Structure 1
Amino acid sequence: MAQQGQFTVVENGSITTPKGFRAGGLHCGLKKTKRNDLGVIVCEVPAAAAGVYTLNAFQAAPLKVTQESVAAEGKLQVMLVNSGNANACTGQQGEDDARTMRAEAAKAFGVPDHYVGVTSTGVIGELLKMDRVVPGIEGLPAVVSADEEGGEQFSQAILTTDLVKKVVCVELTVDGKTVHIAGAAKGSGMIHPNMATMLGFMTTDAAISSANLQKLLNRSTDMTFNMITVDGDTSTNDMVVTMASGLAGNEPLDAEHADWAAFATAFQYVGEYLAKAIARDGEGATKLIEVTVANAASEDAARAIAKTVIGSSLVKSACFGADANWGRIIAAVGRAGVPVNVDTVDIRLGDISVLEQSRPVPFDDPKATEYLKGELVQIHVNLNMGGATATAWGCDLTYDYVRINAAYRT
């Protein structure tokens, strides 16, 4: 285990590490390969639930169904996901299919329909092959388990163009009880702040109400998942869902609880870890880019500028080419739509200062080029206007990104 302040990162932890959770996955035939394409998380008790969803106007049918389920009691017991087909822009048939998936999962695991959430990821505009999905759902109870293998099979089931799984687990002490928070996510392309082709699943055994879990998820998402971009495209299907079993035995957490701050910090760490893993695994990416905007007039301004810089195709291309062209960064700062003092901006690439008080300074170009060739590029923008700070994450824009997306359906 690795200590991180008030919490510890659990090595080989998974979405099933918190008490009460099982998971699994299988291949039902939605993908052309034999990789898992249907997965599920199951809690042994109705879990407090919270979710955040894409802001794309064309919200996919499964998201609507999941929101209906959570709205009923603020609880979920089963979270079902398929990859290989987004079930988006599929009209009434798509909604009917999403509700059929919910009903079949409820029957398979012996819970009410409204205790089931559903989500999908993959190609937009194609109807689900329900003759494959339904038998797959019927087979899920036989493959779920509470061990690491169950989490592994689930993590495989949610992938599309991802190259790696994104999984993390932490533990901390609340009221003297050991509490776990775990997460699994998928996402590689069509990623942009305010959600994207990204699915995130978080589990915890902490006792916390749905309302307090929702507040925590909203705040954490604004600082993590909503601060990443790969390509500027916001998808139809994205969501992050959190389930809390309450089986750790702590007193219910709220903002007045003595351990609330520690729990919130650990919760945000899980979200940030997954968000950065998604950015690092961007389609065709060779490096993670981190943009920190400091001393802004407000947090909103800092976030807007950080997201504009990280989303700039020119900045991303310059990082790919290891070109220390700070002009692309300052141009992005200036078009972020928030007031800036054009005479006080400092910019650094790692520890290499390239701009001070909005004026270029001499720097070692070969050293900067070598720095930009690394797997992590940190861009620091100091506005010298106030005390607010924000960080955003993304990746470089490469030839492979175009190749992958030019042939996505084939």
Structure 2
Amino acid sequence: MGLEELAPGNTKRAKATAIAAFMRFLKAEGVTEDYVRVCIERDESGRCFVSVMDKFAMHLAFNEGKKGKPLARNTTMQYYRQAKIWLLDQFPQHRAFLETRLLKMGKTLDSFCMQRDGGFVGKAPPCTKADLKRLLVYLYVNASCSSDYQDAGLLCLLWYLFGRASDLALLNKPNISIDAGNVLFVRFIRVKTSEEQGLSLFPETEVETCPLLAMARALIMQLAPSPSVIDNLPDVHVQGATALSPAVPLLDMLDHPTDTTGLGGRTPAGSEKTPTIYADVNRVLDRIAVAAGVTVPLSSHSFRRGGAQHANDSGALTARWIFHRGAWNMSTTNKGFSYVFNTSKEDHKVSKILSGHEANASVVLQNLAPFDSQTRARIASFQRQLLRTCHGLQTAQNNIN
């Protein structure tokens, strides 16, 4: 076992898909894998290697996908880069004097695809706050099971936290708390950047889109104890130590080195068919978007863009504050400054704008202090009944703070 086995599942799937595309190209050309290997190994000048990649690039540029349309620019470049890296790993003797040339070929292919597509990069349309309200109202009105409330909480938090769908898979109950400023505070991991972040949330001026209410409904409707705030998301599969192969002494590895990136040692593209979190969000949108009256084709990326654009509409915020809430890394900060910044008033202002308040408005959480002790006790008893799957449990990670 090597570090390649610890790579994220999406990375391995992207590599496997690109290799499968390369193999289809060889089959279409009537050439076997072994013949390509022999030719590249025998040619010390690297011309065979360049010829193979040049022909593959032309195949990608004019090949049609499953829907009868040319491959998207990003897909084309992903296939080209992954195949190039894969082949260079197998034939490292060509890397030093071919890498620059292959990079130039990639730029030519990228430029062609950009001009072919009109010079624009296709992006998911932003989800406006009005669209978010339509989606949530439809889910609440037509809810028939616990999963509908989980889906509503998922869509709402994606918008307010500028989140990718994968970010919320690691949002656990112990990471939600009230900070020293009496503000609801959410800590989670940005999966793509491996960055720990803490963001504030405030009550909404409109009850339909309130993130606090959406979280509360999702927690109340959970049918069984779970550490996750949204418990109907696909599990994030992490390769554990149990997958380790029998230990091999370093001396044996040095005496008999192995190469796991050979032409025949590829991973089939269909080996991992576990549903992704992005597919889960898109499934929800496909099911409810049209019925809810949303006319634009939203995707899982639309909420992150929509929330950021809504915040940018306010003249009281700076772009830097918005960048930091969305974890767009514009600069490097030390650990101490990052800790202060992620819990700062600037993030409070962004959160207030998203929730319909003025940036400098004083917004506080509701509390039970005005009630007498008997009333508070009755309310607390009712709360325990509502939150029975996430309060007072023996397993600490299943409890909300």
TM-score under structure 2 normalisation?
0.23
User: Between Structure 1 and Structure 2, which shows a larger proportion of helix residues?
Assistant: 2
Q: Which has the higher strand share?
A: 1
Q: Which has the higher contact order (CA 8 A, sep 6+)?
A: 2
- Mark the structure with the bigger radius of gyration: 2
TM-score (norm 1): 0.22
